[in-house]
Amino acid sequence: MSLARTLRVQLGEVADPARAPVMQAYMKSEMPYLGVSAVPLRQVCKAVFAGLTWADRAAWEAEVLAIWRGAAFREERYAAIELTGVKAAHAFQQVEALPMYEEMIVTGAWWDYIDNIATLRFWPILENDRTAMKRAMLAWSDDADMWKRRCAILCQNKAKAKTDLDFLYACIEPSIDSTEFFLRKAIGWALRQYAWTDPAEVRRYVAANAERLSGLSTREALKNIGATS
């Protein structure tokens, strides 16, 4: 039985079909749900993916994309994202993996997929392959695809004191005047994350860009520090 088929069977065994319509409505998803919440989904993934190894990056990507492309239920795509982060895949978190992630981002085109990829998968690539990944994210930051822009803005959310501020601000700049909710929210979220490390710098940046930042971005950026605290 293929990995994708095994996964579907195991997810079906822990699904609560009564929850599925509610989950689908909440996520405004065209793809149906099985009715598997986050904790049992992670438990199934841990069991199904235990002990997996791949000879090379191409073999890993092939299994991830087989699950992603063949998904009939949204939880299967969540599982594909889980598979990208298993321990055996750590060595593959290089810029060469970006086309796989790009396919998932462009075809997924919704925040529940995009945010996990951007915040959990892109930071390791930045650490492993900084020059090439920065170049790619700067290009994404000005892309016509909103979700790629959002990823570029959020890719340092786990960086803390390692945040490259010039890079963060460069990724924000093409979207700072956008009226798109998901871009405004991303800008605020990225700034709020860095505010845990340097609140004074975030207050400075918000003040310096007060005429350009949306109210949403500003509120999100200052949510945990206030404007003058």
pLDDT number for residue 165: 98
CB of 4 closer than 8 Å to CB of 70: yes
Residue 10's H or E segment, with its range, is helix 3-14
- Domains 1-91 and 93-229 alike in fold: yes
Parse the chain into domains and list their residue ranges: 1-91, 93-229
Residue 143 has a pLDDT of 98
pLDDT at 229 over 80: no
**Could you report the per-residue pLDDT of 174-214, keeping only the tens digit for each?**
999 999 999 999 999 999 999 999 999 999 999 999 999 99
- CATH architecture of the region 93-229: Alpha Horseshoe (1.25)
What digits encode the pLDDT tens for the residues 15-57?
A: 999 999 999 999 999 999 999 999 999 999 999 999 999 999 9
User: Which distant-in-sequence residues (6+ apart) come within 8 Å of 12 by Cβ?
Assistant: 34
pLDDT in tens, 106-139: 999 999 999 999 999 999 999 999 999 999 999 9
CA 55, 64, 187: angle at the middle one, nearest 5?
A: 120
CA–CA distances in Å: residue 51 to residues 39, 96, 100: 20, 24, 22
CATH architecture of 1-91: Alpha Horseshoe (1.25)
